[in-house]
Amino acid sequence: MSENCPKGEDTLLANYENGSSSTSVLDPKLIQKLIHSCNEAKRAAHCPYSKFRVGAALLGKDGRIFLGCNVENACYTLGICAERTAIQNAVSEGCKEFTAIAVATDVETEFISPCGACRQVMREFGTEWEVFLTKPSGAYQQTTLHHLLPMSFGPEKLTI
Ligand code: THU
């Protein structure tokens, strides 16, 4: 268990080495598949400016896995993160309900977490997702979108 875990949040933010059991509702083999998939997605990253490769693997409730990588642009502000690429990809393919997302970078010294913009875009499609932050070694940290974006604003608030 993570020594970074605040008391009482162990099930919301927990670290796992490759192969150790987790509190996820997902089958361990599916978790491993997601982790493998986000690393595959990372290979396609277009990041000539930051050189910071990111890959995401998004699990639809229908079982499909959608991939995304960061796609940067010479006009820097137009770059898009891997998580949002995966979501655009999924929605374009008719999937809007998600169970989990796994994110890979090349950083081995800490777990990299989705940026604020990506958290809000994920939130559009629910709060109950599991989020797996991974290291190249295969170690991962398991959390939830609700934990990453508490007290969030979402579509159901737009009742007139
Ligand atoms: N990036 C992502 O793709 N996802 C994140 O959660 C954090 C940052 C990308 C954006 C940019 O291409 C590069 O990483 C450096 O910020």
Q: Which of 9, 40, 72, 83 is catalytic?
A: 83
What pLDDT, in 10s, does the model give residues 28-64? 999 999 999 999 999 999 999 999 999 999 999 999 9
42 C-beta closer than 6 A to ligand 1: no
Amino acid 20: pLDDT: 55
pLDDT tens-digit map of 117-126 = 999 999 999 9
Say if pTM beats, i.e. exceeds, 0.75: yes
Q: Give the mean pLDDT of 65-73.
A: 98
Residue 156 three-state SS: helix
Is there a catalytic annotation at residue 83? Answer: yes
- CA–CA separation, 5 and 28 (whole Å): 22
Domains of the chain as residue ranges with CATH:
24-149 (3.40.140.10)
- Residue-level pLDDT at 10: 42
User: Other CB atoms closer than 10 Å to residue 148's CB: what's the count?
Assistant: 21
Under DSSP, is residue 40 helix (H, G, I), strand (E, B) or coil?
helix
